[in-house]
Amino acid sequence: GMNAAINSSKWTVLAKATDDKFYKINIVFVNFAINDAVDAANIAKGLNQANWATEFGAGSVVMFNNDVDMSGVEIILGDSGGSGYDASWGFMGTIDGNGKTISNLSSAWLTYINNACTIKNLTFKNMKSGATLAYKSAGAKLQNVTFEVDANGLTDMYLVSPRQARSALSMTDCTVKITNASSTFKCYIYHSMSQSYGKGSLNVTNLKVTMNGGSFAAVTNETTTCDLTGTQTNTVVNGTLDYNV
């Protein structure tokens, strides 16, 4: 279950030290702290339709305190809101990686994110077959997020979600590192769903891509400025895509 249940907020406190000087201390209250792999797995089930508006509505904060290794840890996703892609559902708060890593992920980590969600300062390390940020997505804001993919034996990979629609996804100062890729390996930011779920957009600013082979693209079946093929080293990608597949 959840290990905290207070409304999140940020305070700035003036504290007087022993040198008689005053210092500003920023205090952030979080709704859920991730200390280990069990906490990271619990957050997937916790971010479901039943408690989005209460524990994880706008302004809520999830923060990593430690690096976590998901090897052998089962992730049970929560209710993703049925078959639709409603932007009023999904996690609406902030996930702050606090400079930590979540490694050896081999499935979707989160159930559903939407365009009110911010994910920042987090590294996904050694992503395996089946790994992706969210099972379903209606957008998000990604800031300083790194995806490190071990593509050995893989044919494709969706970094953010294999199911995304009706959304505005933005990526700022993010990094993708792909190793052990075959010439036929394909990596996408996400797979866009049918137009019945609405028009979406993708905005990429200062995305750095490094890969030893294969291809990298923004969205499945779209030709965009994010299309890269072959060996790349810190290739910087910027661009905006409006799509309605």
Tell whether pTM > 0.85.
Answer: no
Is residue 177 within 8 Å of 199, Cβ to Cβ?
no
Going by pLDDT thresholds of 50, 70 and 90, the confidence category of residue 240 is confident
Residue 32's closest CA among 18, 20, 43, 44?
43
- What is the chain's length? 245
- Geometric angle at alpha carbon 66, from 61 and 72, rounded to 5°: 105
Q: What is the pLDDT of residue 4?
A: 38
**3-state secondary structure labels for all residues of 16-40:** ECCCCCEEEEEEEECCEEECCHHHH
Tokens of 152: 């050995």
Is residue 154 within 8 Å of 129, Cβ to Cβ?
yes
Tokens of 177: 């590192």
Top-ranked range on mean pLDDT: pick from 2-11, 18-27, 185-194, 203-212: 203-212
Tell which wins on pLDDT, 38 or 93: 38
Tell which wins on pLDDT, 188 or 91: 188
Considering only 148-152, 157-161, 162-166, 196-200, which range has the smallest mean pLDDT?
Answer: 196-200
Q: What is the pLDDT of residue 2?
A: 38
Q: What is the pLDDT of residue 132?
A: 93
Going by pLDDT thresholds of 50, 70 and 90, the confidence category of residue 8 is very low
* Residue 244 clears pLDDT 70, i.e. is over it: no
What is the enclosing helix (H) or strand (E) of 46?
helix 37-46
Is residue 122 within 8 Å of 90, Cβ to Cβ?
no
Indicate the average pLDDT of the chain: 79
Q: What is the pLDDT of residue 105?
A: 94
* Residue 126 clears pLDDT 90, i.e. is over it: yes
Percent of the chain with pLDDT over 90: 41
Q: What is the pLDDT of residue 201?
A: 78
* Residue 59 clears pLDDT 80, i.e. is over it: no
Q: What is the pLDDT of residue 47?
A: 58
Considering only 80-84, 183-187, 201-205, which range has the smallest mean pLDDT?
Answer: 80-84
